[in-house]
Amino acid sequence: MFTGIIEALGTISRLDNNGKDIRLTVSSPTLDMSDVALGDSIATNGVCLTVTEMGDDYYCADVSQETIKYTGFAHYKAGSKVNLEKAMRPSDRLGGHIVSGHVDGVGSVSQIKNHTDYIEIWVKAPTSLAKYIAHKGSITVDGVSLTVNEVNGSEFMLWIIPHTLKETVIGTYKVGTQVNLEVDVIARYLERLMLGDKAAEPTKKDIDLAFLAENGFLKK
């Protein structure tokens, strides 16, 4: 688990593709690695990754094709900046909100407006996530715990203060930037709870072209 409070910025120094997954090397001179062990988790732009190799100022992790498919890792390259947060301990302050590090989808920055004391950023979320995004609710954007200040359909607005711009990759955002989104886990549990006894019933898949291809009725 994480809190969405970023501890350091990192740089993707290597991306090694072995055909099945990607071995990622992240360098960060400011992330304290003294209490990190092999097998520990580090949220990398909001994606929970397992440390498989490490040094004083870097760590390596394997990123599966499934993760690449559903996160912004599809757009990352050597030199990309990423937000970093080590897994929380029971004694830590929960300064943001409960973050699992399991990305729900990829959004896109649609507007950026400069104000005197803050930056206004609008993000367009996937349609399937719109129901989980609420005014004054919490959302995780590239691993950063943020408050939703306004909602318009599947778009939502954030107010970003100068400190957050300086200490996270949000300061590099432009219109069109792809961002990892994780909705508030409480909203997901509430949705499941509302199903009542129906939650035990098998999920029926909609029959579409993707379903037909997945089940061998169409050639991929």
Q: Tens of pLDDT along 54-74? A: 999 999 999 998 898 889 888
- Coil, strand or helix at 180: strand
Domain contains 70: yes
Average pLDDT, the chain: 90
Same domain, 31 and 70: yes
- Asked whether residue 79 falls in the same domain as residue 115, the answer is no
Nearest by Cα to 53 from 61, 44, 45: 61
Containing structural domain, residue 70: 8-86
Read off the DSSP letter of residue 153.
T
CA distances, 184 to each of 81, 123, 145, 163 (Å): 24, 16, 10, 23
CA distance 15 to 24: 5
Q: Is the pLDDT assigned to residue 217 strictly greater than 80?
A: no
- pLDDT number for residue 33: 96
Residues 117 and 191 in one domain: yes
- In this structure, is residue 113 part of a structural domain? yes
Average pLDDT for residues 208-219, to the nearest whole number? 63
HSE, side-chain direction, 13 A CA sphere, residue 201: 7
pLDDT at 31: 96
Identify which of 169, 146, 141, 145 has the alpha carbon closest to the alpha carbon of residue 26.
169
- Shortest CA distance to 39 belongs to which of 55, 54, 52, 21? 52
User: What sign does the CA torsion over 72, 179, 81, 48 have?
Assistant: negative
109 with 193, same domain: the answer is yes
Judgement on whether residues 71 and 144 belong to the same structural domain of the protein: no
Q: What is the pLDDT of residues 36-48, one digit of tens each?
A: 999 999 999 999 9
Which CATH number belongs to the domain containing residue 152 in this structure?
Answer: 2.40.30.20
Residue 118, both tokens: 């803050």
| Per-residue model confidence (pLDDT) at position 108 | 97
How many domains, in total, are found in the chain?
Answer: 2
The reply to whether 161 and 109 lie within a common domain is yes
- Indicate the pTM of the whole model: 0.87
